[in-house]
Amino acid sequence: MNLKDFGKKLIFLPDATKGAIKFLTTEQIRSTKTKGIVVNTLHLLMNLDVEKMEELGGIKKIMNWDGYVLSDSGGFQVYSLVHSKKWKGSIDENGVTFVSPKDGSKHLLTPESAIDIQLAIGSDVLVCLDDCRFSEVSRKEAELSVERTLRWGERCKKHFEKKNLKKEKLLSCVVQGAGYLDLREMCAKELSKMGFDGYNFGGYVVNKSGNLVTEEMEKVIENVPEEKFKYVMGVGKPNDIIKCAEMGYTVFDTVLVTRNARHGSLYSFDEKKEKDYLLRIGNVKYSKEQNPIDSTCDCETCKNHSRAYIHYLLKIKEPTGYTLATIHNLRFYQRLIDSLSNG
């Protein structure tokens, strides 16, 4: 694993939010040819505190994982949990204060502490804390979000450089601007001046209709350094990954691939691209089909089991079914990435 090569080629990172992918062992994750995972800074902070993470040697040692680890900063959760009032808390120039819904304890997440926590996690690729907002906020709110994201990005970089003396880690920033193209452009240009290892498209990647916000995405790509990796956070569906790769994005992640597996939405190159390669295994027509989920797939599930068996396991809510479905979906995504990388 050469960190200098991260994002030079297309890579898909499944979400191991709390340091695990549901129903899979670390060895099963490896079997899908997955090269890296995404962990969630805020959720790890809430469930496995900084001191405990450091004491246990970081998430790689805990998981026995030898691939890449990318940690988000908690910026999206700032929006989804604090801005939306799902969690008690407040946001000011210093950072985010929030109250744990588990035990009522107070936590402060600043640009500096976000870096410290990610270093304690043992991440290879860190993400700056940003002030994320919904795509359709007012112009004034979007401007405030961009201005704070830039100030926090500068603070993150300064603190990161003090800590990363051996140059063993990478730091990426998050481009905000909501649905305002000129703000996306300005944010991208200003962050580019600071000099990060990667540039991430932040905020919501789809509109209310479920379609990619392609104009905003293209505006970011046009205004960040060509040689740096571009990470579109939260994408997504196979056809959306294809479109983003065509734009120039190289790093992808989504909870969709594993969540869909547990709900019987599986992916197969035997299905039509126009239908996003989707196969809903719970459909009664699959209860008698002896062929694998994907006739071209080399995963454990497809080599050993039929559609009928997976249909049956998920129907009776057998955990083995969730495992086999998740293995297949992860392997499908890695094969999709390979097919795009190889033209």
CB 224 within 8 A of CB 199: yes
For residue 328, which amino acid is it?
Answer: H
Structurally, the chain folds into a number of domains equal to 2
Q: What is the pLDDT averaged over residues 203-228?
A: 94
Q: Which tens digits make up the pLDDT trace of 240-292?
A: 999 999 999 999 999 999 999 999 999 999 999 998 999 999 999 999 999 99
Rounded-to-10 torsion of CA 284, 290, 293, 299: 140
Q: Are residues 112 and 248 part of one domain?
A: yes
Residue 307 is predicted with a pLDDT of 98
Q: Are residues 176 and 34 part of one domain?
A: yes
CB 181 within 8 A of CB 215: yes
Q: Are residues 172 and 78 part of one domain?
A: yes
Residues in the chain: 343
Q: Which tens digits make up the pLDDT trace of 8-28?
A: 999 999 999 999 999 999 999
306 has pLDDT over 80: yes
Q: Are residues 186 and 288 part of one domain?
A: no
Residue 27 CB coordination number (10 Å):
8
Q: Are residues 268 and 193 part of one domain?
A: no
Q: Are residues 128 and 64 part of one domain?
A: yes
> What is the rounded CA–CA span in Å between residue 292 and residue 64?
31
| Domain containing residue 32: CATH number | 3.20.20.105
The candidate with the shortest Cα–Cα distance to 160, out of 205, 104, 198, 190, is 198
Residue 259 is predicted with a pLDDT of 97
87 has pLDDT over 80: no
Residue 98 is predicted with a pLDDT of 78
> What is the rounded CA–CA span in Å between residue 218 and residue 310?
40
Residue 123 is predicted with a pLDDT of 97
Q: Are residues 43 and 110 part of one domain?
A: yes
Total-model pTM:
0.94
Q: Kindly indicate the confidence band of residue 83, based on its pLDDT and cuts at 50, 70 and 90.
A: low
For residue 228, which amino acid is it?
Answer: K
* Tokens at 241, concatenated: 């990954």
> What is the rounded CA–CA span in Å between residue 171 and residue 119?
11
Q: Are residues 250 and 228 part of one domain?
A: yes
Q: Are residues 147 and 30 part of one domain?
A: yes
Q: Kindly indicate the confidence band of residue 99, based on its pLDDT and cuts at 50, 70 and 90.
A: confident
Q: What is the pLDDT averaged over residues 170-199?
A: 97
CB 306 within 8 A of CB 295: no
> What is the rounded CA–CA span in Å between residue 340 and residue 343?
5
Range of the domain at 73: 3-254
Q: Kindly indicate the confidence band of residue 82, based on its pLDDT and cuts at 50, 70 and 90.
A: low
Residue 76 is predicted with a pLDDT of 72
Number of H helices, E strands in the chain: 14, 13
The residues annotated as belonging to the active site are 72, 253
311 has pLDDT over 70: yes
Burial of 296 (0-12, 13-18, 19+ CB in 10 A): exposed
Q: Are residues 274 and 250 part of one domain?
A: no
Q: Which tens digits make up the pLDDT trace of 135-157?
A: 778 999 999 999 999 999 999 99
> What CA–CA distances, in Å, run from 55 to 62, 81, 201, 331?
10, 29, 33, 33
Q: What is the pLDDT averaged over residues 166-175?
A: 94
Give the residue from 229, 254, 279 where a domain finishes: 254
Give the residue from 223, 254, 285 where a domain finishes: 254
Give the residue from 195, 220, 254 where a domain finishes: 254
> What is the rounded CA–CA span in Å between residue 330 and residue 294?
13
> What is the rounded CA–CA span in Å between residue 37 and residue 123?
10
74 has pLDDT over 90: no
Residue 84 is predicted with a pLDDT of 63
Q: Are residues 270 and 151 part of one domain?
A: no
Q: Are residues 197 and 238 part of one domain?
A: yes
